[in-house]
Structures are given as C-alpha cells and as structure tokens.
C-alpha cells in the first residue's frame, strides 16, 4: 500500500482527497493535518466521511511524521507550500502540491499575480505540471507535482487541441468561467456567506485573475480571462471564444473531430455533441467538452465542464500521483457523474 499524508486535510480539497483516497485500492491515509482543526475528528467536521474514517483525527503538522511517506499532498496556502516542499523533497516518494506555488514557470509572474517573490527557483524548474493529458511522460517518476488550477484545466482541455492544430489565432482568446462557491475555500468570508452567494452571480478578478498566466502558459496563447461566481456548491463551466487562424477553413464537424482525435484514449475527457453541464460531472474526475463554429461571426466556441473539487483539484492531483507512482491512472477515480 502507498502510505499517504495529506497536509492541510481539513479544507475542502483535503476532504475531497480523503473521499477519493477511501476508494483508492492502493492508498492508505496514515497522516492528515489541519492545524486550525487539530484534535477534531474528520467525521465530525465532514460527516460524509464517517463511514470510512470514524476515528481519523486531524493533527498538527510534524515534519518528522511527514518524512518517510510514499506520497504527500499539500493543501496549503501558496507561500506555505513554497516553504514546505524543500523540507520534504528527497524525504518522501512524491509531493503533490495543490497550491499555485510551483505551477508557473516564469518566476516574474509571482510578484505580479500572487504578491510574493519565489525563493525556490530550483524546485520551480524541477516541478512537473500535473495535467496528465499534456504532461503524462514528464509525470512518470516525478518527485514534485504542481496540480493545475481548476479554471485552467477546463479552458485548456477545451481549447488546446485547436491551438496545437493551428486552427485558431493565438491572440485575443476569451475565456469566461462560472464556478461554485467551494472554489473560494472553507474559511468564512463575506464572499461565501449564504446571503452573498444566494440568488447572485458576480464576476471577479477583472483582467488580473491569478489563473490568467497559468492558462496562457498551458494554452500557449494570449487570453482575456473572466471568472464568475455562481450559487452552487461545486462545479465549473468554461465558455471560450477564439478567432480562426489565417487561412483556416472551419466547421463544427471539423472542430468536434479535432477534439475527438486529440483526446482519444484519455480516460477522463468526454467529447460530446451536446452541451456540457456541471451536474453531469458532479463528483467525477471527468471533463465534458464540445465545440461549435459560428459562420456568421467567424468565431470558434469551445465549452467544457468539470467538478472544481475533483478533476479541478483533488481528483486531478490523484490522477497525476497515480501516473508518477506507476499506478493505474484511473485508480480511485470515476468519470461517472452523480445524477439526478
């Protein structure tokens, strides 16, 4: 069995990691920290976990307890993860970081988008971006994995095939997303108050959202990104627009064919003729994608949906860890959503 530690297990992504680990045939969670919830049973904070973790207690972090484990997930704030990784690298089999601390290859982006300077440039260079659909070969045997942002995974899986095929202009791509409230984290704020989110849709992060450079990095295109907070617990829908590349002759049939060819054999990408929906992916590690070409406005429309806590965070982290450790990539994960 793979001995697993989850540092920061009391947050939403930590709870999702515990849920997935419970159904993983090779994972044994032996250490789960949550400093603000230390001494609290996981089943008390998240009753949904009671059937599998009736006695698991959140602990305070102890470096000695983490070292020696086969796999450690970091569910910490960005700067905390940046500081934690050097203490664990070489002492655990694999580190999977769910923060943005090691996602961006250009260190100059960190002061601009995250407000801190990156002081672990060697590890930043060594970290592997944890999107298996693009970086599977690099993930094999990786010691440090940077889990993608949820908006990024959705937009990139919707658009990347068209960029690679030279079908769309790499300038002026527009990505609009709608996301559930769990993306804001578990800590109570004005944003996630019931009275703020109920019956309300609101755009945020105008022009400077932190996922913008990450989308551009993985899409290899210039992007205008605007996320919107909507009144649902979990889920994310991306609506993307791009202009055809010079000389490209496009049709809806061609775009769907490109998607199917590019994602053929991918266990968690579902190309559909219909309209992707967040409910269809709820609780699963699946991404549903589709595309249309509008001849009237000469615009490529690409749409994708996923569960922001699963494929968009913890599920994607487990998928990448499976690849790194040489396990079945689909272990512990499903592409079947919960419906109705």
| Inter-residue contact 16 to 310 (CB < 8 Å) | yes
* CB hemisphere CA count around 306 (13 angstroms): 32
The two three-digit tokens of residue 99, written as one number: 């923060």
Please state, in angstroms and as integers, the Cα–Cα distance from residue 177 to each residue in 91, 214, 227, 323, following that order. Answer: 38, 15, 5, 28
* CB hemisphere CA count around 149 (13 angstroms): 26
In 3D space, the residue among 95, 216, 204 whose CA is nearest the CA of residue 149 turns out to be 216
Which among 94, 109, 150, 240 is annotated as catalytic?
150
Q: What is the dihedral of CA 55, 78, 224, 171, to 10 degrees?
A: -110
d(CA 136, CA 138): 6
In 3-state terms, what secondary structure has residue 224? strand
In 3D space, the residue among 172, 185, 147, 183 whose CA is nearest the CA of residue 225 turns out to be 172
Tell me whether residue 109 is one of the annotated catalytic residues. Answer: no
d(CA 326, CA 284): 22
CA 274 to chain centre: 23
The contacts of residue 249 (CB under 8 Å, 6+ apart) are none
- DSSP letters, 38-101, are TT-BHHHH-GGGTTT-SS-B-B---HHHHTT-SEEEE-S-HHHHHHHHHHHBTTBSEEEE-SST
In terms of residues, how long is the chain?
Answer: 340
Active site residues: 150
């Amino acid at each position: 069995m793979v001995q697993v530690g989850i540092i920061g297990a009391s947050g939403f992504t930590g709870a999702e990691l515990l849920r997935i680990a419970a159904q993983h045939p090779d994972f044994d969670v032996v250490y789960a920290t949550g400093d603000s919830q230390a001494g609290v049973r996981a089943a008390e904070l998240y009753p949904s976990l009671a059937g599998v973790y009736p006695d698991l207690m959140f602990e305070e972090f102890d470096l000695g307890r983490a070292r020696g484990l086969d796999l450690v997930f970091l569910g910490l704030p960005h700067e905390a993860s940046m500081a934690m990784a050097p203490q664990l690298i070489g002492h655990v089999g694999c580190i999977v970081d769910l923060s943005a601390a090691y996602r961006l290859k250009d260190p100059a982006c960190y002061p601009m988008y995250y407000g801190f300077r990156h002081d672990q440039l060697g590890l930043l260079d060594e970290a592997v971006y944890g999107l298996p659909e693009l970086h599977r070969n690099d993930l094999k045997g990786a010691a440090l994995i940077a889990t993608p942002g949820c908006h990024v995974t959705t937009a990139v899986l919707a658009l990347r095939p068209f960029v690679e095929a030279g079908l769309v202009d790499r300038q002026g791509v527009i990505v609009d997303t709608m996301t559930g409230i769990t993306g804001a984290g578990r800590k109570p704020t004005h944003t996630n108050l019931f009275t703020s989110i109920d019956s309300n849709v609101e755009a945020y992060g105008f022009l400077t959202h932190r996922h913008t450079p990450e989308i551009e990095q993985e899409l290899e295109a210039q992007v205008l990104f605007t996320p919107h907070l909507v009144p649902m617990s979990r889920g994310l829908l991306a609506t993307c627009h791009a202009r055809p590349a010079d000389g490209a002759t496009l049709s809806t049939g061609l775009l769907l064919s490109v998607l199917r060819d590019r994602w053929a054999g991918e266990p968690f990408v579902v190309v559909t003729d219909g309209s992707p929906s967040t409910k269809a992916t709820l609780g699963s590690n699946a991404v549903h994608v589709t595309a249309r070409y509008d001849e009237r406005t000469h615009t490529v429309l690409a749409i994708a949906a996923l569960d922001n806590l699963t494929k968009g965070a913890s599920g994607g982290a487990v998928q990448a860890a499976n690849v790194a450790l040489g396990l079945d990539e689909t272990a512990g994960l499903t592409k079947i959503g919960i419906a109705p």
